[in-house]
Amino acid sequence: MNSRERVLAALSHHEPDRVPFDIGGTVVTGIHTLAYTALRHYLGLPEKEPKIVDMFQQIVQVDDDVAELLRIDVKNIAPRSSGTYQIKTFDLGDYTAFYDEFGIGWRMPKNGGLYYDMYHHPLAGEITIEYKYYGCSRQNPKK
């Protein structure tokens, strides 16, 4: 059985030749950058800069050499998250931080941090009929 047949058989409640294996087929089955670096080392593969596909959780793209060696049956072909669009990190004292496309601030501790936590929300505080977002103001259309 090839990978496609194996996955389709399992999804159809038929018994495949072996259980389909997935690492990185989706963000849910992804692998953290630190775990992935350790896995590559354990497998005796050369060091390689991981490509982060989910900035918030620090999930990386599984390389073809790892997928082949572990006989991974699925591959992520989804478009990248909009959350990775033009992200520029900056120094925030003990944290590395960035703002996403919605103006939400995310930060990760420099020492021992594993993923980004929300620390600033643009809708925090008092909400009025007139609001300002990225320098643009907009009036309530019912007024």
- What pLDDT shows up at residue 127? 67
pLDDT in tens, 62-121: 999 999 999 999 998 877 655 556 788 899 999 999 988 888 899 999 999 999 999 998
Closest by CA to 59, choosing from 108, 100, 117, 115, is 115
Distance, in Å, from the CA atom of 60 to the CA atom of 77, rounded to the nearest integer, reads: 14
Domain assignments of the chain as residue spans, ordered by start: 1-81, 86-143
Predicted confidence (pLDDT) per residue in 29-52, tens digit = 999 999 999 999 999 999 999 998
Confidence of residue 143 (pLDDT cuts 50, 70, 90): very low
Decide: 140 and 130 in contact? Cβ < 8 Å.
yes
Selected residue with higher pLDDT from 29 and 133: 29
Q: What share of the chain is helix, strand, coil (3-state, %, to 5)?
A: 20, 20, 60
* Residues present in the chain in total: 143
pLDDT in the model for residue 136: 44
Res 65: pLDDT: 96
| Strands (DSSP E) found in 3-134 | 31-32, 52-54, 59-60, 90-92, 95-99, 105-109, 117-120, 131-133
As beta bridge partners, residue 108 has 96
* Predicted pLDDT at 38: 96
